[in-house]
Amino acid sequence: MSPGVLADRVAQAVLAVPGVHDLHGGVLGEVATYLPGRRVTGVRLRDGDTQVHLVLAWGAAVSTTTDAVRTAVAAIVPGTVHVAVEDIAAPGQPVVTP
């Protein structure tokens, strides 16, 4: 599977997890999978190591949501999955849909 297809599948799986508001690019937007002509923000793929940075929905349980994200991503990519919560969405903000 190409890196672009894999990164897109990971992003879709993460955004489908209840409690996830959006993906997050990190402080300087550096967390991404860089592809020709585009990038998948919030997902960094490396050999045997995947990083996912996200924004939680208001009121979502951190450990429950990050465990669900880790499980969803581990079903797609081999190796270790690291999940980082970068921010929490303000109350009433609409959830981003994949």
What pLDDT score was predicted for residue 95? 62
Sign, CA torsion 72/1/80/19: negative
pLDDT digits (tens, 9 = 90+) for 50-90: 999 999 999 999 999 999 999 999 999 999 999 999 999 99
pTM above 0.85, yes or no: yes
CB 75: neighbour CB atoms within 10 A? 10
> What is the distance between the alpha carbons of residues 56 and 68, in angstroms, rounded to a whole number?
12
Q: Once rounded to an integer, what is the mean pLDDT over residues 20-31?
A: 93
Superfamily holding 3-88: Cation efflux protein, cytoplasmic domain (3.30.70.1350)
Residue 26 has pLDDT above 60, yes or no: yes
Asked if 56 and 88 touch (Cβ cutoff 8 Å), the reply is: yes
With cut-offs at 50, 70 and 90, classify the pLDDT of residue 2.
confident
